Amino acid sequence: MERALDQIGVRLTTSLVVEVLRRLRFEEKVAFRKYTEKHLTHLQKFAKKKKIRVKTQPEINAFNLLLDALCKCSLVEDAEGLFKRIRGKVKPDANTYNILFFGWCRVRNPTRAMSILDDMMQTGHTPDNFTYNTAIDTFCKAGMVTEAAEFLEFMKVKGSTMSSPTAKTYAIMIVALVQSDRMDESFKLLWDMISSGCLPDLSTYKELIEGMCLAGKIDAAYKFLEEMGKKGYPPDIVTYNCFLKVLCDNNYSDEALRLYGKLIEVGCMPSVQTFNMLITMFFEMSDPDGAFETWHEMDKRGCARDTDTYCVMIEGLFGCSNSEGASLLLEEVLDRGMKLPYQKFDSFLMQLSSLGDLRAIHRLSEHMRKFYNPAMARRFAVNQKRKSMSLRGK
């Protein structure tokens, strides 16, 4: 292409290059291959001429950009070939190795990826946790669980303090093993995690339990909690709520109630969030009776209701056409002087408007003015009404 352009005497200008790249649309990275390689040295000359001081050489920045473009186009073989040709002229940095490493992960070639890691460490650069975790996650999602497990062993043996496995690393692998029905290996890895001092935090607990439940391995999730308890780390209400959220979000009502019974059995006091999740689940399943049972269970357990509890119940009752029950609870909210979220005010006003209950509308509006600026409240209500009307028109 370059020879053809030279023969016809086309003069390359910025506007021409930009127009060509624009027409190539998603192939602009391919077009940038050769162009960057040809002009690498120009960046260095420009830096010297303008006396620009930078922490890293401009050439390595441009080179990394070129490698990244190649790898994202899945031309990793070409990227590594270019790397080997030019590494004697431009000194690679940690980012250079990371780009190639992720490139081989992208095309699902763990052997070549690990060779890049070896090369990286031999040149004095240390991979970090993010590098390893991303690689393990990539291979697990591609179904290459055995290769991901090899990566984890590599981290344990050759990793430094900066790159030793974390609870996040173990969580990715444990969930992948569970999803692959490799249960014995998953729990062996769980014990390894605990014995190494890597305790799961709240987000890791949620990832582990959610991964098991979504894979249909709910019993494995229970066993995971039991094993944690045996190792001296019994689950608390926060942990149970993580588990319960996954079950409620997926409308696993039987399992959610089973879990609720379990936490009561072990003497763990349910929180208001526990009940709010259950009430929400029952209304989403069009089961108002279950919601009412949960509402009364709060009294039995001595758990005080919060604003969210009332909002969930009122919305649920309006949603299942029990406007009388919803209005009674709304009256209770006003009598208790509770501050409702701004959006809930508007939602409840709309419901009362459809019922034509002017007295309730007036009382709710007056209550609203105690907490919010009246002008802002009116503007918000008008805007919401306009949005509603526009949606109806569509």
- The whole-angstrom distance between residue 294's C-alpha and the CA centroid of its chain comes to 30
Distance CA 282, CA 341 (A): 22
pLDDT at 272: 96
Burial classification of residue 56, based on how many CB atoms lie within 10 Å of its CB (0-12 exposed, 13-18 middle, 19 or more buried): exposed
pLDDT at 20: 73
| Below-50 pLDDT ranges, the chain | 28, 47, 50-52, 54, 56, 392-394
- Which CA distances in Å does 116 have to 10, 67, 97, 161, 205? 41, 14, 7, 20, 32
In tens, the pLDDT along 249-262 reads: 888 889 999 999 99
pLDDT at 4: 73
In tens, the pLDDT along 18-29 reads: 777 677 655 545
pLDDT at 50: 47
pLDDT at 286: 92
Tell me the HSE value of 278 on the side-chain side, using a 13 A CA sphere. Answer: 26
pLDDT at 47: 47
Predicted structure pTM score: 0.61
